[in-house]
Amino acid sequence: MRYIISSAIASFAAALPAMAEVPRVITDIHPVHSLVAQVMGDLGTPELLLEKGASEHDFQLRPSQAAGLADADLVVWIGPELTPWLERALAGLGEGSSQLALIDLPGTETRQFSESGAHHAEDAHDPDHGQDETAEAGHDGHDHSAEEAEHDEAGHDDHSHDGTDPHAWLDPANAELWLAAIAAELGRIDPENAATYSANAGSAATRIRALDAEIATTLAPIQGKPLIVYHDAYGYFAAHYGLEIFGSIALGDATAPGAARLAELRDGVAAGTPVCLFPEAQHDPTLVQQLAEGTGARIGGALDPNGSTQGPGPGAYAALLRSLAQTMVDCVQTS
């Protein structure tokens, strides 16, 4: 399909040399793809690396995708905090290609993992807090750690446990801010359509503001109700909407929890503190079921923090936020 369209444009462009081709844009995950698709509008469609139903933490480039990166005009991605391997792939980008790491854009609201999730719960409830921190800092069981030690001079190994929480797309204020930067970069590459990109970004920002107000209304009844989530992905969403994440089972990069973390969550559930536990669409729900077993805590629907279980497209960002909010509300309000 792409080949046919490219050929058609190429022959058309040969006949009319003044007509510029719309930039070829590659995106990492569904929410980023959605934002870029809204900015490009009718001019074109970005490509998406993450496959349907995949976790944002364990996807890898297929060889055809790696080859495709070489002739991208622009790569829009969250940043190395989420996908360190993509940073390495981008080092090989051709001259004339550019990349936009959204989490690094000025004005982006960023959070540290220590501000969110189970760390917060530890501060409040666990006298062995310091011990647990040490155990986590020493955790070294990622799939990617050996590869990183071998290839990565910049030393991103601890990005996903400490340091910046990469799930910044779950704060709609960030999404709104990023739209303008995406439009500016597309306009720089494709000045002929700069006004269209800018206008599309403006419309999308208006839609996101309305979405934000709608989600805030949806979530208002469950503010402050302690929730347990599968992985430490919801710090931005919780902070923005006043939710209380009592803890997360898996770590911020979705790797397995330590025994100390599980014991702490089990104590909380046994004491009746969290009202709902949420599995995730991309991960095995067994640990969630074991934690809830024999307690009064409810198991909610599967959350999907990257929207990959739904189809990609301009509407995917709104669908993702609505789905998270509704799944949380549905569980808490029936508890």
Q: Which residues bind Zn ion (CB under 5 A)?
A: 233
Shortest separation between residue 229's beta carbon and Zn ion, angstroms: 10
Which pairs count as long-range contacts for 92-100, CB under 8 Å and 24+ apart, including other chains?
93/69, 94/70, 97/71, 97/72, 97/73, 98/73, 98/74, 98/185, 98/189, 99/74, 99/75, 100/74, 100/75, 100/76, 100/181, 100/182, 100/185
Residues near 226 by Cβ (< 8 Å), separated by ≥ 6? Answer: 244, 245, 246, 268, 273, 274, 275
Sort strands 226-231 and 244-250 into parallel, antiparallel or unpaired: parallel
CA distances from 316 to 55, 117, 182, 184, 275 (A): 16, 25, 17, 22, 28
Nearer to Zn ion, 205 or 287 (CB): 287
Shortest separation between residue 231's beta carbon and Zn ion, angstroms: 5
Nearer to Zn ion, 254 or 325 (CB): 254
Nearer to Zn ion, 90 or 233 (CB): 233
Shortest separation between residue 58's beta carbon and Zn ion, angstroms: 10
Find the angle CA(94)-CA(176)-CA(49) to the nearest 5 degrees: 40
Nearer to Zn ion, 185 or 232 (CB): 232
Residue nearest to Zn ion as judged by C-beta position: 233
Shortest separation between residue 234's beta carbon and Zn ion, angstroms: 9
**294, 307 Cβ separation under 8 angstroms:** no
Here the tokens at position 84 are 């360190």
Shortest separation between residue 82's beta carbon and Zn ion, angstroms: 7
Nearer to Zn ion, 233 or 328 (CB): 233
Nearer to Zn ion, 118 or 233 (CB): 233
Shortest separation between residue 142's beta carbon and Zn ion, angstroms: 13
